[in-house]
Amino acid sequence: MAEARGRPKGFEDGEALDAAVMFFWTHGYEGASVDALCREMNMPRATLYARFGDKEGLFRAAVARYAETRVAPVLSALWAGGGLRADLEAFYAAVLALCTANEAAPGCLISCALADAAGANPAFREELAERFAAMEERITARLVAAGWDARAATPPEVAAGLAATLARGLTLAARAGTAEAELRKTAAAATPAILRLAPEHVVAVCEA
């Protein structure tokens, strides 16, 4: 453990945070003790507190790392370069891949571990709301880029809220142990459900 004191900052921000992400993702916030985190991160307790302040600070840093390394690529699928239908399908495929990639940690750190911890922690509730809003803003931007008018019967931000809720539902179902084959059926139904709410000219482009 003494060797860890000499680790460069990049190690702490990269490999050590990745280890913390996986541990929180697997065990949740309450189930991850500081001692266990120190072992997983190969970091002395004093260094952890100096770098992140406390366990809560480490968790928030892990959530930020997760958003940067795991969630950002999923959201990038919305801009894969296809039409709206193809990009939504790519998005849900990416969500499914994320929440089923690791049998030891199914689901999503944000939708599962952060949401669970948020019930008793106002700071975590605020963080959760911000993370949810960020996803919905990205989906809204993609719908607007496809011509989804704000004056539509179902405005783009409302449709985006549904799209994000479906994505979060997939992660929760994965966390609950739903078989991947069943998750795939739900993911396949998500895009058609959203497009049923789209203005006619948007649907026409999707079907062209």
Q: What angle do CA 78, 97, 190 make, to 5 degrees?
A: 55
CA torsion angle 175 177 181 183 (round to 10): -30
Residue 86 CB neighbour total at 10 angstroms? 14
Summarised one tens digit per residue, pLDDT across range 104-149 is 889 999 999 999 999 889 999 999 999 999 999 999 999 999 999 9
Q: How many other C-beta atoms lie within 10 A of the C-beta of residue 191?
A: 22
pLDDT single digits (tens) 52-79: 999 999 999 999 999 999 999 999 999 9
Cα–Cα distance, 30 to 37 (Å, whole number): 12
pLDDT tens digits, residue range 89-98? Answer: 999 999 999 9
Global pTM reads: 0.89
Q: How far apart are CA 27 and CA 41, in angstroms?
A: 15
User: Token pair for residue 2?
Assistant: 């003494």
Identify the band that residue 194 occupies on the pLDDT scale cut at 50, 70 and 90. Answer: very high
Average pLDDT, the chain: 91
pLDDT in tens, 8-25: 444 446 899 999 999 999
CA proximity to 134, closest of 68, 188, 186: 68
Is the Cβ–Cβ distance between 91 and 167 less than 8 Å? Answer: yes
What is the structure's pLDDT at 146? Answer: 94
Instruction: Please check the confidence at residue 154 and state whether its pLDDT lies above 90.
Output: yes
**The length of the chain, given as a count of residues:** 208
- Torsions phi, psi of 152, nearest 5? -65, 160
